[in-house]
Amino acid sequence: MTTLFNLAGKVALITGATSGIGTQQAYALSAAGAAVVLLGRREDRLHKVCEDLHQLGREASYVQADLINESELDRVVQQCLSFHYKVDILCNTAGVNLRQHADDVSVEGWDQTLALNLKIPFFLAQKLVPNMRERGWGKIINVASLQSERAFANGIAYGASKGGVSQLTRAMAEAWSVDGINCNAIAPGFFPTELTQAVFDQEELSGKLAEQTAIGRNGELSDLDGVCVFLASHASDYVTGQVIYIDGGFTAK
């Protein structure tokens, strides 16, 4: 039982680790014993989170990269593997929401959103799967959204990408679970991060969203810790292809 959620000896790569949910995942997974490799564009943030984790006595390193540039992926994977020669857990957390009205969605905005939110999670995983396969065990955690199921204002490209993430998660699970590599997605409700600042800046709107949950409040980043450790650990070895809503009951109402 004690080993169920224990991540000692595991290595987790977390994209989007410079802020919000990705940073939270880095703290949660490292608290459970994993060595973490952080990925993002802002090197000062990567350095700061890494330093802070070291202060806490945890193992952390980072790779600076712009994932929109898919030609970077080989270098990213090589650099990640140079730290511990393996990655057991991949958190595909980097994401973007440009919030363009349907009338104003640009081809560039669409391409950027679909690339970062949907395409890169697959191709990064595809490049890491051979390494996970060597040990017959791996965990891939994607990030879906309420917009995987629901339409929200100004969510054309974002909603399309997150709807795609739900199906991508099932398809990745279908392809790789037989090799011991499980793939699931978390679907957060509303959590205060840089990505949702526009929502939380509007008190009336964020209050309305909180009222739409069953619990009666929006999320706090620590609400995501349990599910993250669960999906990264042996505790979820028979869970794959699932999209798990951590939304305070938003979608239940």
Give 93-150 as a DSSP string.
Answer: ---------GGG--HHHHHHHHIIIIIHHHHHHHHHHHHHHHHT-EEEEEE--GGGTS
Contact between 194 and ligand NAP (CB under 6 A)? yes
Contact between 67 and ligand NAP (CB under 6 A)? yes
Instruction: Identify the residue whose tokens are 């526009």.
Output: 198
> In this complex, which beta carbon is closest to ligand NAP, that of residue 64 or of residue 177?
64
Contact between 28 and ligand NAP (CB under 6 A)? no
Cα 72 to chain centroid, rounded: 19
Within 37-56, the residues that bind ligand NAP by CB under 6 A are 40-42, 45
Query: Which phi and psi angles does 141 have, rounded to 5°?
Result: -120, 110
Give the Cα separation of 208 and 217 in Å (integer): 9
Within 83-102, the residues that bind ligand NAP by CB under 6 A are 93-97
Contact between 248 and ligand NAP (CB under 6 A)? no
Cα 74 to chain centroid, rounded: 20
Q: Which residues are catalytic?
A: 158
Here the tokens at position 117 are 């939110």
Burial class for 56, CB neighbours closer than 10 Å (0-12, 13-18, 19+)? exposed
- Smallest gap from Cβ 121 to ligand NAP, in A, equals 9
Q: Which of 6, 19, 126, 242 binds ligand NAP (CB under 6 A)?
A: 19
The kind and range of the H/E element at 39 are strand 35-40
Contact between 116 and ligand NAP (CB under 6 A)? yes
**With left for phi above 0 and alpha for psi between -120 and 50, is residue 251 left, alpha or beta?**
alpha
Here the tokens at position 110 are 């669409």
- Smallest gap from Cβ 92 to ligand NAP, in A, equals 8
Q: Which of 138, 155, 159, 188 binds ligand NAP (CB under 6 A)?
A: 188
- Smallest gap from Cβ 136 to ligand NAP, in A, equals 28
> In this complex, which beta carbon is closest to ligand NAP, that of residue 42 or of residue 101?
42
> In this complex, which beta carbon is closest to ligand NAP, that of residue 196 or of residue 240?
196
Q: Is residue 248 classed as helix, strand or coil in its secondary structure?
A: coil
Q: Which of 191, 230, 245, 250 binds ligand NAP (CB under 6 A)?
A: 191
> In this complex, which beta carbon is closest to ligand NAP, that of residue 34 or of residue 67?
67
Q: Which stretch binds ligand NAP (CB under 6 A): 15-23, 28-36, 74-82, 205-213?
A: 15-23
Residues that bind ligand NAP (CB under 6 A): 15-22, 40-42, 45, 66-68, 93-97, 116-117, 143, 145, 188, 190-191, 193-196
